[in-house]
Amino acid sequence: MTKEVLLSSWSRDGLYVLSESSATSLLKVFLSTCLSTSTDVWHRRLGHPSLCSMHFLVSTKQVSCTPKQFNFNCPACPLGKSSRLTLKTTGHQTQAPLDLIFSDVWGPSPMLSFEGFCYFVIFVDAYTKFIWFYPLVAKSDVLAIFHQFQALIECQFSLKIKYVHHRVICPYTLE
């Protein structure tokens, strides 16, 4: 409001580095008031805290905002706080591990991983719901990875795989 510079710093690798000499100004910056800052702006700035946390910050005057209504509808919060979608029922009855293994290959990824992977294959045991994930450099690596996977789990469970079924299980894809 006073147009006074509250804090200045230099950036290193895209991040601003705050020195010990700027620590005295830091409290002043955090508690500074701005009439145009709303609750939804503070919500985004503070890393999407819960509604309860936002109420606490405003009621204890740690954050000043106008208006003080908490009716923000943040599209990022449900996405960031969701854990996973449940798998659809398959209709298959299994009695033991390795009776039925579902598999799906995904890719190519729009970006390579650090190791150069751009595909992945997953194997899901229908009985235990265990999931094995294997990154792939090329889609043609699936057969070799399957043989590696088969040797691993058949040794681990002391059982043989009975059936393998390709099933598209990634979220939002049609079967």
Output phi, psi for 125, to 5 deg: -80, 120
81-115 pLDDT tens trace: 666 556 566 677 889 999 999 999 988 888 888 88
Domain borders along the chain are 10-79, 100-166
Q: What is the reported pLDDT for 87?
A: 57
Q: What is the reported pLDDT for 175?
A: 39
Degrees, nearest 5: CA angle 32-78-121: 125
Handedness of CA 61, 67, 71, 75 (dihedral sign): negative
CATH 3.30.420.10 fits 100-166, yes or no: yes
Written as tens digits, the pLDDT of the chain (175 aa) is 677 776 677 777 777 776 666 555 555 555 555 555 777 777 777 778 888 888 887 788 777 776 656 666 777 777 666 665 565 666 778 899 999 999 999 888 888 888 889 999 999 998 888 899 999 999 999 999 999 999 999 998 899 999 998 866 555 544 3
Record the tokens describing residue 154, joined without a space. Answer: 């058949």
Q: What is the reported pLDDT for 149?
A: 96
Q: What is the reported pLDDT for 36?
A: 53
Instruction: Answer yes or no: pTM beyond 0.75.
Output: no
Q: What is the reported pLDDT for 22?
A: 59
Q: What 8-state DSSP symbol labels residue 141? A: G
